[in-house]
């Protein structure tokens, strides 16, 4: 029945969208470019003068082009760009020098060569609270708001962008509360409030009548099963049942600790594929045209969308907007780190299993490689990043060693705000492909900036070449920069019971 209702609603929405598009005179606007991912990839290679890219490594150990997992071969260029030395060789020794001289240099290189620049003119986002519901999530009462952020498309109405977001705030604590924004799928109500049994009876009677009117043959079935109700109530919370075994879900842990949370759908901001690069927010701003080499990629677009979500949270009296965090796993872990680095209003980040493009060093050759991101996942990055996978081109050959920046500097851009880097273990599915060691090295190297800005780092030296990665389940959680490798898989869920008290303490928040 839910599928039938969903189908009818979807059909109605599509009809409405098509009707709206028919009203738009498309001849007044630049033609919308529709390319496959391969066509878009080829176009960017042509723009850059690249004739041949090296293929990314295979995850299959039996393939000739298998990924390297030998530490002896991983550090082909072991010296990282010095995060506290300017391009002219000046040593950064004060916080003022960091903010005014070195940090802008790093941002310029990161934008031009890795993640892309934000357009100079970006459209306004108008937020609407579509539905407000009072629910119980686990044993915690909460207010849940379904939000839609409509991006102004008046300059190019052929593309529509509506950011989907869900805010959940506990009601059993004094507000405003800290909130963790979480990149994920399309948001849905976690535990929708339901009509009473009497109201359900009325709904079923009306629904049966409507169905019989639409198809008289159904009357025979309903007569045969007079007690059957097409619409049934979902199981509600049982406050007398013992708590389930194991840890509660991350969202339940947040609510129980007095935190709220937000789920935001990255695909409602920008599609997670190369074919969609002329749609979404990137396509809207480009008016349906192809990207230039330093235009932003999907990671930066998702980060922009998260920042627009924070714009809304700053207006909601239930939320302490000075204590909003960002979280994600895998590709969304990359996006969470990019968000924290470039948007200073976020106070804390939980960066889960992020790999290349996230916390792992680009110039390390271990598992996932730069060539992985210049190939299939090129659209996450700006076009210029593809240069570092070039084997033959007008500018010669480049590798990750030629990058002017690396991920330790991305982590450093987050300082002095709270930055928790999380990984699992390969045995449980957090693959060696992610290069846990490379992420740890980056965190160690970034620590010098945290210390320069007057906060604690991992509590080890900043000798990234020689510091040993802690054993599994050994967390480095005494500073604003934190590291913990749990014994689970490709998720950050096992680290929530460590992340929440860590963040609450350093944000000076008590329930």
Cβ neighbourhood burial of 189 (10 Å; 0-12, 13-18, 19+): middle
For residue 463, what pLDDT is reported? 98
478 — phi, psi (to 5°)? -95, -5
The 8-class DSSP code of residue 282 comes to H
3-class DSSP assignment, residue 488: coil
Helices (H), 118-274: 197-214, 218-224, 250-256
Supply 59's token pair.
């995850």
Total residue count of the chain as it appears in this document = 511
Supply 496's token pair.
């929530």
Torsion of CA 177, 181, 187, 189, to 10 degrees: -20
Helices (H), 331-430: 331-342, 370-374, 407-412
Listed in sequence order, the residues at least 6 apart from 88 whose beta carbon sits closer than 8 Å to its beta carbon are none
For residue 16, what pLDDT is reported? 46
Q: Tens-digit pLDDT profile for the chain (511 aa)?
A: 444 434 444 444 445 445 455 578 888 999 999 999 999 999 999 999 999 999 999 988 888 899 999 999 999 999 999 999 999 999 999 999 999 999 999 999 999 999 999 999 999 999 999 999 999 998 899 999 999 999 999 999 999 999 999 999 999 999 899 999 999 988 888 888 777 778 878 878 888 888 889 999 888 888 888 888 887 766 666 555 566 678 899 999 999 999 999 999 999 999 999 999 999 999 999 999 999 999 999 999 999 999 999 999 999 999 999 999 999 999 999 999 999 999 999 999 999 999 999 999 999 999 999 999 999 999 999 999 999 999 999 999 999 999 999 999 999 999 999 999 999 999 999 999 999 999 999 999 999 999 999 999 999 999 999 999 999 999 999 999 999 999 999 999 999 999 999 999 999 999 9
Count CA atoms within 13 Å of residue 323 on its CB side. 22
Q: Centre a 10 Å sphere on the Cβ of residue 88 and count the other Cβ atoms it contains.
A: 7
Listed in sequence order, the residues at least 6 apart from 213 whose beta carbon sits closer than 8 Å to its beta carbon are none
For residue 66, what pLDDT is reported? 93
Report the distance separating Cα 286 and Cα 300, nearest Å.
Answer: 15
Domain 73-191+250-506 carries which CATH code? 3.40.50.1820
Nearest to 231 by CA among 206, 214, 252: 206
3-class DSSP assignment, residue 391: strand
Cβ neighbourhood burial of 184 (10 Å; 0-12, 13-18, 19+): middle
For residue 319, what pLDDT is reported? 98
For residue 235, what pLDDT is reported? 64
User: pTM (2 decimals)?
Assistant: 0.90
For residue 233, what pLDDT is reported? 63
Domain boundaries, the chain: 2-26+192-224, 73-191+250-506
DSSP string, 63-88: STTBPP--GGGT-SS-PPPPTTB-TT
For residue 8, what pLDDT is reported? 41
400 — phi, psi (to 5°)? -60, -25
């Amino acid at each position: 029945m839910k599928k039938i209702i969903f189908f009818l609603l979807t059909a109605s929405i599509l009809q409405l969208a098509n009707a709206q598009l028919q009203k738009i005179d498309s001849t007044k606007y630049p033609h919308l470019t529709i390319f496959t991912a391969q066509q878009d990839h080829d176009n960017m290679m042509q723009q850059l003068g690249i004739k041949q890219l090296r293929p990314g490594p295979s995850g299959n150990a039996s393939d000739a082009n298998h990924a390297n997992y030998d530490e002896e071969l991983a550090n082909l260029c072991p010296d990282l760009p010095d995060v506290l030395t300017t391009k002219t060789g000046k040593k950064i020794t004060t916080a003022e020098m960091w903010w005014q001289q070195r940090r802008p240099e790093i941002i310029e290189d990161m934008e031009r060569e890795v993640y892309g620049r934000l357009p100079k003119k970006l459209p306004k986002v108008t937020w609407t609270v579509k539905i407000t519901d009072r629910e119980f999530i686990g044993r915690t009462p909460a207010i849940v708001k379904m939000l839609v952020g409509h991006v102004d498309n008046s300059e190019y109405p052929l593309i529509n962008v509506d950011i989907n977001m869900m805010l959940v705030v506990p009601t059993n604590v004094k507000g405003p509360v800290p909130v963790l924004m979480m990149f994920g799928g399309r948001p849905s109500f976690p535990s929708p409030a339901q009509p009473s049994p009497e109201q359900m009876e009325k709904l079923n009677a009306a629904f049966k009548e409507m169905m019989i009117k639409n198809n008289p043959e159904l009357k025979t079935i309903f007569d045969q099963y007079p007690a059957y109700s097409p619409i049934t109530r979902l199981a509600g919370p049982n406050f007398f049942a013992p708590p389930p075994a194991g840890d509660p879900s991350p969202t339940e842990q947040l609510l129980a600790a007095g935190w709220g949370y937000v789920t935001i759908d990255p695909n409602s901001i920008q599609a997670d594929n190369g074919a969609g690069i002329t749609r979404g927010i990137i396509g809207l701003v480009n008016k349906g045209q192809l990207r230039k080499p330093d235009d932003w990629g999907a990671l930066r677009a998702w980060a922009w969308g998260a920042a627009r979500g924070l714009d809304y949270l700053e207006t909601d009296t239930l939320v302490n907007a000075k204590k909003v965090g960002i979280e994600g796993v895998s590709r969304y872990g990359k996006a969470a780190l990019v968000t924290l680095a470039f948007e200073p209003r976020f106070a804390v980040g939980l960066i889960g299993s992020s790999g290349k493009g996230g916390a792992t060093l680009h110039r390390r050759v271990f598992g996932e490689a730069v060539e992985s991101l210049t190939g299939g996942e090129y659209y996450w990055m700006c076009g210029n990043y593809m240069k570092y996978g070039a084997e033959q081109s007008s500018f010669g050959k480049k590798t990750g060693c030629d990058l002017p920046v690396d991920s330790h500097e991305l982590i450093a851009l987050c300082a002095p705000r709270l930055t928790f880097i999380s990984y699992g273990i390969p045995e449980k599915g957090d693959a060696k492909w992610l290069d846990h060691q490379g992420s740890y090295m980056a965190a160690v190297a970034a620590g010098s900036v945290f210390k320069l800005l007057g906060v604690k780092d991992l509590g080890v030296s900043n000798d990234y070449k020689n510091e040993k990665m802690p054993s599994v389940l050994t967390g480095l959680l005494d500073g604003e920069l934190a590291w913990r490798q749990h014994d689970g898989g490709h998720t950050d869920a096992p680290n929530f019971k460590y992340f929440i008290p860590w963040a609450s303490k350093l944000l000076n928040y008590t329930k």
